[in-house]
Structure 1
Amino acid sequence: MIGIIGKKIGMTSLYDSEGRKQACTVIQGGACVVTQLKTMSVDGYSAIQLSYDDKKEKNTTKPLRGHFSKAATTPKRKLVEFRCEEEGFLQEVVLGQVIRVENVFSEGEFIDVIGTSKGKGFQGVVKRHGFSGVGGRSHGQHNRERAPGSVGASSFPSRVFKGMRMAGRTGGQRVKIANLKVMKVLPEKDLVVLRGSIPGANNSYVILEK
């Protein structure tokens, strides 16, 4: 397998082999069901679709009910496709198969995690881009501490260039963190502990990739 879907539980700390205390993130993973197999001949590319986290059938549309019934599983909340370029990879899995944490990851390896960062709403340039502000309150200035400063020239080019760092909506974006070490795998609880922090709030969905 090349990945799995999980849910961020929270953070804790573990001691590594050298006795150093490491901040870690706990992820509830596993019990992902294979709900679709995409092949080169039919779909134009090879991929495996995994689903995670049970959902009430009454809150599921009829097309999705039929989709999940083909895999002989209950409706799920999160569906994710994992591309697989290896030849013969799809022959190793079957529709309706349950993938767990211990089937994918092992302690000591490095993986990538994709999540949605926390939304922070509309923010100014100091919080959004790390600006230091125009200056202090000297020489009659009283409201410039967190101001963005100049954003464009005068008569030429008479406009503000695209991509100018200004105030705006912050967070709530797809973020990928690479090379996080797997500190511990707890198969009896379907938990995986990663060194470092990952984007998103607690109980948010994350994607773990090799």
Structure 2
Amino acid sequence: MTQIFNEEGSALPVTVIRVGPCLITQIKNLKTDGYNAVQIGYSKVKPKNIKKSQLCHFQKSGLPAFSHLCEYKNLEIQDYLLGQEITVDIFKMGQLVNVTGKSVGKGYSGNQKRHKFKRGPMTHGSKNHRAPGSIGPGTTPGRVFPGKLMSGQLGNKQITISKLEILGINLNENLLVLKGNVPGKPGNLLKVTLS
């Protein structure tokens, strides 16, 4: 993340992400697959570094091996060709995009951090400062209901941040400058779709 200044002189927080280049590895259609989709590959790898089943998928199309594959559904598949390269030039300045990725994992967290619970009293001999307190009803029904908000794994889940505005495009380096933040740490793999 960084910041840029607009024409009025206001500082805008932005995230710079690398988009592609990606190659179309498969075009799925309604007749053979039951739905229309375009599968793209990102980040070329040596053939020995992927599974044989994946390698055969690429060899059948006569394409190099990729470490990441992703499908984009409900597209006009007649506009795309097998092996076509997709770069950042498909986007325009001012467009709104959705960015999907894995959020930062925060490990095993308690109720206050995970669910924004309030703390208990700190004085007068109270011993439940950060404890969850009573978690279930009494004798009837005598159990804790499913879905109770309790401590556990926080973060490391797929989330989508919607309607990020494109403030800049670098065609030489395949970079997008998006207003705001995106999920995950630097180097995280992201999926960018139009809003």
TM-score range normalised by the length of the shorter chain: over 0.9
Q: Could you list the per-position Cα deviations for residues 23-82 of structure 1 after superposition, in whole angstroms to 9, with x for gaps in the alignment?
A: 111111121000000000000000000110112211112221121123333211111000
2:144 matched residue in structure 1? 160
Aligned to 2:167: 183
Q: Which residue of 2 aligns with 1:139?
A: 124
CA distance in 2 between counterparts of 1:149 and 1:120 reads 23
1:118 aligned to which of 95, 104, 107: 104
2:66 equivalent to 1:76: yes
Q: Which runs of 5+ in 1 are unaligned?
A: 1-10
Unaligned runs of 5+ in 2: none
Residue in 2 that maps onto 1:4: none
Tell me which residue corresponds to 1:92.
79
1:106 is matched with 92
Q: Distance in 2 between matches of 1:169 and 1:99?
A: 36
Question: Letter of the aligned partner of 1:190 in structure 2?
Answer: N
**Is the Cα–Cα contact under 8 Å of residues 112 and 177 in structure 1 kept in the other structure?**
yes
**Counterpart position of 1:29:** 19
Stretches (4+) displaced over 6 A: none
AA aligned opposite 2:87: R
Alignment deviations for residues 165-195 of structure 1 (CA, whole Å, 9 cap, x no partner): 1000111100011000101010110000101
Aligned to 1:18: 8
| Secondary structure in structure 2 of the residue aligned to 1:65 | helix
Query: TM-score by structure 1 length?
Result: 0.88
Letter matched to residue 95 of structure 1: L
- The question of whether the paired residues in 1 share the 8 Å contact of 2:100 and 2:160 is answered with yes
SS at 1:178 equivalent: strand
Q: Which amino acid aligns with 1:141?
A: S
Give the RMSD, CA atoms, in angstroms: 1.2
Confirm whether residue 127 of structure 1 aligns to residue 113 of structure 2. Answer: yes
Query: Mean Cα displacement is larger for which, 52-61 or 122-131?
Result: 52-61
Deviations 1:1-33 (A, max 9, x none): xxxxxxxxxx11111243211111111112100
CA distance in 1, matches of 2:193, 2:176: 13
Letter matched to residue 79 of structure 2:
E
TM-superposed deviation, 1:90: 1.2
Aligned in 2, Cα 1:42/1:113: closer, same or farther, shift over 3 Å? same
Amino acid at match of 1:188: N
SS of the residue 2:161 aligns to: strand
Q: Would you say the 8 A contact 1:32–1:52 is kept in 2?
A: yes
Would you say the 8 A contact 2:50–2:67 is kept in 1? no
> In percent, how many aligned pairs have the same letter?
36
Q: Find the aligned partners of 1:32 and 1:94 in 2 and give their Cα distance.
A: 13
Verify the 8 A CA contact 1:133 1:149 in the aligned structure 2.
Answer: no
Aligned length: 194
Within-5 A mapping of 1:22-61: 22-61=12-51
**TM-score of the superposition, structure 2-length normalised?**
0.95
2:96–2:166 CA contact under 8 A, matched in 1:
yes
SS in 1 for 2:27: strand
